[in-house]
């Protein structure tokens, strides 16, 4: 069941004041609290899955019995690594075990029966997902204390058609799914605090269909010598 926090309740009440009442869908309930609960350590841990090497991950590589070939390596932006004798290897998407095999194959002919061990030293795994009407949607690291405004700023700010009153944050806490609706304008005015964002949260910035429609309309008729009237069917700001 999806629960919605108090900021969303306010949004629903505001919408009802300016249009037909909104009908809740089955399984949707509200909770009387000012903010979503913070995730536990279990929630912050990614679901169990094979670890694969990504850009800027740091790994250690050892060859049994050959100390000279021990290296701590950082993958480049494309997930490539460089290792003595083996040269450049496309490690992006490989598991440590797969990389061990790849390095071993490169070393054969130079090292007799190489036994390679690859271990993870450091990876960027605390990520927040920012989608919707932002300039650069994607996954961004949560470094220190992250807030909603900072998360949007990480995605290079709002897109052209962003609806600042319709910013949704999804979070899972102890198996319970939560969603909250925030108004960035109200946060900027100090109406309520900028909510904290945690790893694994999903932030979605809403879109304004009417503003998109007006842009397309003006592009179609760049020179207006008379009033331009269009019929909008069910489109609201």
CATH number of the domain to which 103 belongs:
3.30.1950.10
Instruction: Please tell me the predicted confidence (pLDDT) of residue 211.
Output: 61
Q: First-to-last CA distance in the chain?
A: 29
Do both 202 and 130 map to the same domain? Answer: yes
**What is the H or E stretch that residue 127 is in?**
strand 127-132
Does a structural domain hold residue 160?
yes
| Residue that is last in its domain, among 122, 145, 163 | 122
Cβ atoms 157, 140 nearer than 8 A: no
Do both 130 and 212 map to the same domain? Answer: yes
Does a structural domain hold residue 22?
yes
Q: Over the stretch 77-109, which tens digit does the pLDDT of each residue have?
A: 888 999 999 999 999 889 999 999 999 999 998
| Residue that is last in its domain, among 122, 149, 178 | 122
Instruction: Please tell me the predicted confidence (pLDDT) of residue 84.
Output: 95
| pTM of this structure | 0.54
* Torsion region of 125: left, alpha or beta (phi above 0 gives left; psi -120 to 50 gives alpha): alpha
pLDDT surpasses 90 at 177: no
Distance (Å, whole) CA 72 – CA 83: 10
Cβ atoms 152, 128 nearer than 8 A: no
Does a structural domain hold residue 233?
no
pLDDT surpasses 60 at 71: yes
The domain of 93 spans: 58-122
Distance (Å, whole) CA 94 – CA 131: 27
Average pLDDT value for residue range 26-51: 62
Instruction: Please tell me the predicted confidence (pLDDT) of residue 161.
Output: 87
Question: What percent helix, strand, coil does the chain show, rounded to 5?
Answer: 20, 30, 45
User: DSSP letters along 188-212, please?
Assistant: HTTSS---EE-TT-EEEEEE-HHHH
Does a structural domain hold residue 50?
no
Do both 40 and 154 map to the same domain? Answer: yes
Least confident of 110-114, 206-210, 227-231: 227-231
Do both 199 and 133 map to the same domain? Answer: yes
pLDDT surpasses 80 at 21: no
Percent of the chain with pLDDT over 90: 35
Average pLDDT value for residue range 150-179: 88
Q: Over the stretch 106-137, which tens digit does the pLDDT of each residue have?
A: 999 899 999 999 998 877 656 889 999 999 99
């Amino acid at each position: 069941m999806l629960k919605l926090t108090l900021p969303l309740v306010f949004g629903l009440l505001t919408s009802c004041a300016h249009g037909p009442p909104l009908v809740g869908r089955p399984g949707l309930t509200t909770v009387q609290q000012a903010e979503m609960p913070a995730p536990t350590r279990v929630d912050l841990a990614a679901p169990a899955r094979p670890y694969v090497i990504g850009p800027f991950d740091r790994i250690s590589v050892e060859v049994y019995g050959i100390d000279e070939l021990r290296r701590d390596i950082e993958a480049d932006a494309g997930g490539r690594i460089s290792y003595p004798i083996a040269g450049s290897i496309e490690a992006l998407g490989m598991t440590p075990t797969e990389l061990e095999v790849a390095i071993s194959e490169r070393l054969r002919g130079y090292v007799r029966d190489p036994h390679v061990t690859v271990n993870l030293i450091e990876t960027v795994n605390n990520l927040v997902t920012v989608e919707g009407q932002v300039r650069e949607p994607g996954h961004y690291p949560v470094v220190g204390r992250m807030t909603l405004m900072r998360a949007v700023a990480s995605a290079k700010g709002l897109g052209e058609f962003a609806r600042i009153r319709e910013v949704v944050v999804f979070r899972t806490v102890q198996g319970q799914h939560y969603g909250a609706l925030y108004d960035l304008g109200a946060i900027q005015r100090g109406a309520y605090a900028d909510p904290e964002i945690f790893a694994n949260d999903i932030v979605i910035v809403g879109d304004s269909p009417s503003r998109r429609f007006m842009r397309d309309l003006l592009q179609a008729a760049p020179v207006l010598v008379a009033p331009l009237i269009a019929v909008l069917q069910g489109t609201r700001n």
